[in-house]
Structure 1
Amino acid sequence: MSARLYLVRHGQTSSNVAGALDTKLPGAPLTELGREQAGIRGRELAEAGVSPRVVMSSEAARARETAGLIAAELGLETQALPGMIEIQAGAYEMQTGTEALLAYGRLIRDWLELGDLTSSLPEGESALDVQERTMPMIAELRESYLDNGIDVVLVVHGAVMRMMAVFAGAVPSQWALDNHIDNCAVIELVPDGGGWSCARWGDHVEMPRF
C-alpha cells in the first residue's frame, strides 16, 4: 500500500464543549475525554500499521497535546508545523453566541458551496489566505515523505482539514460542506498521479467515486 497522509482532528477541548470559536494560538487544552480520544486514535493507527517518522501537528495547544498522545502510542516524537492553525474567526474569536456560529458556518458555506474564496469574516482570513498558508506545506510533506514511502500523520483542525482536502482535489466542495469531522476523526488522503484521492473521511471508510 502506498504511503498516505492522515489528517487527524484534535481531541475535544473545553472550547468545543462551550461552542466557542477558538481559533487563535495557543487555544484551549484537551478535556479528559479529548485525551482519551487521542489515545484511542493513536492505538488504532498503530494497529493499522501506520508508520510515520514523527507525528506532526498544528502549533495550537490542543493539536500538540493530541499529537503527543498519538505519538506515545506509536513510539515516536512530535513536530509542530507553522501555518496549520484553524481557519481564523477574526472578530468572532471565542464568541459562543448564535450570531458568531452562524457567521462562521456561512463563511465555510460561501467558500465551499458558492465558490467565493475571497470572502472573510471581519479581521479574519479568506479561503485564498488559508490555501496559501497550508498547501505549500502539504506539497512539501508529499515530496519529502510520501513520495519516499513514508506515512504522514498531521494533527490539525476540523474546518481547515476539510478545506485542505478540497484544495488538494481529493473530494468535491459539497462533500466537504455536508460531512463534518468529529474530534479525533481522520481524513486519509492518498497520492494519486499528480493529485490526491480520499480513502477515508471520518466514519466513511468506503468512499464514493467522485
Structure 2
Amino acid sequence: MRLLLIRHGQTPSNVANLLDTAVPGPGLTELGEKQAAALPDALADERIEALYASTLVRTQLTAAPLAAARGLEVLVRDGIRELAAGDLEMEPGDTEAGEAYMVTAFAWAAGDTGLRMPGGESGAEAFGRFDAVVAEAAASGAGTVAMVSHGAAIRAWTAARARNVDVDFAAAHPLDNTGVVVLEGSPETGWTALTWAGAVVGDAAPAGSESGPTGRPLDTQE
C-alpha cells in the first residue's frame, strides 16, 4: 500500500506557537484554507482510493477540498489525532514545555513507549491507535491511502515504523502545514519512507518554517 501522511493546514494555534492537541481544536487560518485548497493539484499524480482525517476539525477542513475533487468520503478516525499534550496543553511550543513534548514523542519513536506524556497518554497508546487506523486502511485493499493527521503524530510514527527513518532524521526535519510524508509497505512487512515533504528520504534538508511547535526542528543540543 502507498500511504500519504499529510499534515493539516495552518491554524491560529500554529501561528501562536501553542501546543493545541485537544478535540475538536481550532479551524484553519486564511492561509490554512489556501493550503487545503492547493492539495488536490499538489497530489494530482496520486491515485488516492481512500481518504482519512482525524477527529480534530483542522484535519477535516484540510481534507475537504481533496475529498470533493476526488469524489471521496472523508473517513474520520480518532486514532490519527495529534499526540495528546496532557498537562502541557496550550503551553507555548518554544518553552521547556514544548521541548518536553517533542522529547517525549521522539523517546516513544526510539522505543520507550511506556513513557507517558505528562498527564497524558503513553507511546504504546498513541502508536497503538495510529497503527489501528493504518491497519484498517491496509485491510480495505486500497492501493493508495491519504491520511490527514498532525505534525508530531506523523513525525514520531514514521520514525517508529519506517525502516529508513530514524529519530535523528525525524527530529531534525520539520513538517510544514500540508507537508506530506509518502510511505510504501504494509503493517505485516513494514514501511519504507519514499519522500518527506517532497524530498527523497536521505536527501531532505532541514527547512525553517513557522508552522507551530510540532513542525519545528527539535533542539537536541545539551
TM-score by length of structure 2 reads 0.82
Which residue in the other structure is 2:149 paired with?
Answer: 156
Q: 1:63 pairs with 59, 62, 77, which one?
A: 59
CA distance in 1, matches of 2:174, 2:11: 17
CA distance in 2, matches of 1:96, 1:24: 15
1:36 deviates by 0.7
5+ residue gaps in structure 1? none
1:2-21 equivalence runs, <5 A: 3-21=1-19
Alpha carbons 1:7, 1:186 under 8 Å: kept:
yes
Aligned residues: 200
- Range 8-17 or range 87-96, more displaced: 87-96
CA distance in 2, matches of 1:20, 1:33: 17
**Are 1:169 and 2:162 an aligned pair?**
yes
**AA partner of residue 189 (structure 1):** L
Which residue in the other structure is 1:42 paired with?
Answer: 40
Which residue in the other structure is 2:184 paired with?
Answer: 190
5+ residue gaps in structure 2? 204-222
Off by >3 Å, runs of 4+ in structure 1: none
TM-score by length of structure 1 reads 0.86
Percent identity for Structure 1 against Structure 2: 37
**AA partner of residue 31 (structure 2):** L
Question: What per-residue deviation string (whole Å, max 9, x for no partner) do you get for residues 83-137 of structure 1?
Answer: 1110011011112261321221221243345x43222232111211111111122
Alpha carbons 2:52, 2:147 under 8 Å: kept:
yes
Cα pair distance change 1:203/1:137, threshold 3 Å: same
Which residue in the other structure is 2:96 paired with?
Answer: 99
Aligned-residue RMSD, C-alpha: 2.0
Cα pair distance change 1:36/1:163, threshold 3 Å: same
**AA partner of residue 17 (structure 1):** V
1:40 deviates by 1.2
Q: 1:138 pairs with 128, 134, 137, which one?
A: 134
Q: 2:105 pairs with 108, 114, 120, which one?
A: 108
Alpha carbons 1:54, 1:71 under 8 Å: kept:
no
